């Protein structure tokens, strides 16, 4: 008994985080989201070089493909390896056979020069024909000039902006600061601390597992009138599991909730990366119906076809050697962890 669906879409990923697993513990236990950023992610991203970025993207893309996710909307930051980083990620995903929409997360964390270089990386990649968006880390790490420059660049290039919005309490000013800038093609990751009636334009990217892991709260996305889509925020690429969690968290605050709502959030991914609708995933389970999937663990793809090519069959990717990708990624993880 098998069933076929289009390729699934992860609308908010950080492929660079694939090598974070097993990293040394931070010097001090983080006690809030800001400290998680400072002690874990902002130390990790500063240590990345292009070779690490390449193998983290290969591993992240492979793991996504193995779960029937054929399109990733990535948000990247590597302050000491900015130039060329998006091309490295795009090439790695192409090698595995997974679609990717790249963005470099512009920030003033490393001063105006760092922000300028981030903007230029977005511009360079997009003007060269790369599939992407203009990335911004978050309003709370950017000056007004930087937010305006990113919004302007995106508008000039005819793409949206991919930005974290009100993920933690430290970014509650985002709704006001971004109010005049957003457009319908913006991707607003998290929105945990956005007011119900925020007037930002764009799609809210809901990442339930990450929000739980960071103890930032439940975004409760049913309260928004804007479209909602599902991402992992870098914790793998298994969108079936993310859907299952999104459903049960919704249910935890509303006993009348049905899996259809979280399934609609998953389907919004196809509005953001329409190419994935043409991909084909044959699953180990039938029927692929929200009420079944919500209560059925272990559903896995048997065969994945991307853009007409079979890229996963009989438990293995067809374009790359999974064992080799994992070995190389492990070597790069060791290099990365040694720098922390
Ligand atoms: Zn994120």
Residue percentage of the chain with pLDDT more than 90: 99
Q: How far is the CA of 189 from the centre of ligand 1 (A)?
A: 7
Q: Report how far ligand 1's centroid is from the alpha carbon of 285 (Å).
A: 31
Which tokens belong to 89? 């990620």
Report how far ligand 1's centroid is from the alpha carbon of 233 (Å): 4
Distance 314 CA to ligand 1 centre (A): 32
Supply the mean pLDDT for the chain.
98
Distance 286 CA to ligand 1 centre (A): 32
Mean pLDDT value of segment 147-171: 98
Calculate how far, in angstroms, residue 104's C-alpha sits from the geometric centre of ligand 1: 12
- How many Å apart are CA 202 and CA 215, to the nearest integer? 25
How sure is the predictor about 218, in pLDDT bands with cuts at 50, 70 and 90? very high
Q: Are the C-beta atoms of 306 and 70 separated by less than 8 Å?
A: yes
- What is the CA(75)–ligand 1 centre distance, in A? 7
Domain count of the fold of the chain: 1
Instruction: For residue 14, report the distance from its CA to the centre of ligand 1, in Å.
Output: 6
Q: For residue 122, what pLDDT band results from cuts at 50, 70 and 90? A: very high
Question: What is the distance in A from the centroid of ligand 1 to the CA of 283?
Answer: 28
Pairing of strands 161-165, 187-190: parallel
pLDDT classification of 31: cutoffs 50, 70, 90: very high
Q: How far is the CA of 57 from the centre of ligand 1 (A)?
A: 15
In the predicted model, what is the mean pLDDT of residues 59-72? 98
Q: How far is the CA of 13 from the centre of ligand 1 (A)?
A: 6
Count the neighbouring beta carbons within 10 Å of the beta carbon of residue 295: 11
Confidence of residue 38 (pLDDT cuts 50, 70, 90): very high
Q: How far, in Å, from the CA of 304 to the mean position of ligand 1? A: 26
- Give me ligand 1 centre to Cα 18, in Å: 13
Instruction: Compute CA 108 distance to the chain's CA centroid, rounded to the nearest angstrom.
Output: 21
pTM over cut 0.85: yes
CA of 317 relative to ligand 1 center, distance in Å: 27
Backbone φ and ψ for 42, nearest 5 degrees, come out as -80, -15
Residues 336 and 12: their CA atoms lie apart, in Å, by: 23
Interval between CA 234 and ligand 1 midpoint (Å): 7
Task: Give me the DSSP letters along 235-282.
Answer: S-S-HHHHHHHHHHHHHHH-TT--HHHHHHHHHHHHHHSGGGGG-EEE
The domain that holds 235 is classified in CATH as 3.20.20.140
Distance 105 CA to ligand 1 centre (A): 10
Domain span holding position 237: 3-338
For residue 324, how far is its CA from the centre of ligand 1 (angstroms)?
28
**Residue 219 has what DSSP assignment?**
-
Backbone angles phi, psi at 239, to 5 degrees: -75, -20
Sheet of 134-138, strand order:
105-106, 134-138, 161-165, 187-190, 203-206, 228-230
What's the whole-number mean pLDDT along residues 166-185? 97
- Is residue 93's pLDDT more than 90? yes
pLDDT of residue 1: 87
* pLDDT tens digits, 140-149: 999 999 999 9
d(CA 222, CA 261): 8
Residue 119 pLDDT? 98
The average pLDDT across 80-93 equals 98
Please tell me the distance between residue 12's alpha carbon and the centre of ligand 1 in angstroms: 6
Per-residue model confidence (pLDDT) at position 287: 98
């Amino acid at each position: 008994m098998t069933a076929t669906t289009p390729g699934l879409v992860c609308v908010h990923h950080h492929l660079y985080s694939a090598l974070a697993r097993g990293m040394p513990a931070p010097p001090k236990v983080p006690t809030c989201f800001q400290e998680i950023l400072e002690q874990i992610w902002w130390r990790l991203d500063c240590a990345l070089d292009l070779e690490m970025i390449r193998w983290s993207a290969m591993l992240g893309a492979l793991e996504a493909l193995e779960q029937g996710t054929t399109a990733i909307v990535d948000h990247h930051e590597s302050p000491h390896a900015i130039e060329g980083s998006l091309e490295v990620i795009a090439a790695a995903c192409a090698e595995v056979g997974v679609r990717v929409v790249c963005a470099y997360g512009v920030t003033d964390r490393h001063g105006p020069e760092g922000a300028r270089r981030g903007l230029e990386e977005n511009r360079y990649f997009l003007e060269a024909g790369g599939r992407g968006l203009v990335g911004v880390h978050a309003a709370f790490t950017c000056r007004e000039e930087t937010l305006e420059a990113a919004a302007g660049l995106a508008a000039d290039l005819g793409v949206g902006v991919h930005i974290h919005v009100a993920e933690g309490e430290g970014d509650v000013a985002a709704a006001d600061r971004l109010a005049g800038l957003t457009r319908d093609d913006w991707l607003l990751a998290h929105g945990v601390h956005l007011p119900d009636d925020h007037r930002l334009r764009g799609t809210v990217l809901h990442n339930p597992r990450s929000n739980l892991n960071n103890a930032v709260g439940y975004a409760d996305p049913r309260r928004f009138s804007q479209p909602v889509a599902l991402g992992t925020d870098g914790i793998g690429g298994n969108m079936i599991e993310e859907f299952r969690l999104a459903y049960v968290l919704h249910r935890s605050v509303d006993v009348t909730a049905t899996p259809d709502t979280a399934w609609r959030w998953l389907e919004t991914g196809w509005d953001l990366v329409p190419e994935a609708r043409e991909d084909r995933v044959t699953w180990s389970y039938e029927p692929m119906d929200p009420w079944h999937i919500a209560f059925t663990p272990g559903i896995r793809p048997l065969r994945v076809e991307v853009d007409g090519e079979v890229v996963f069959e009989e438990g293995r990717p067809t374009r790359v050697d999974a064992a080799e990708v994992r070995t190389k990624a492990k070597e790069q993880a060791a290099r990365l962890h040694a720098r922390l």
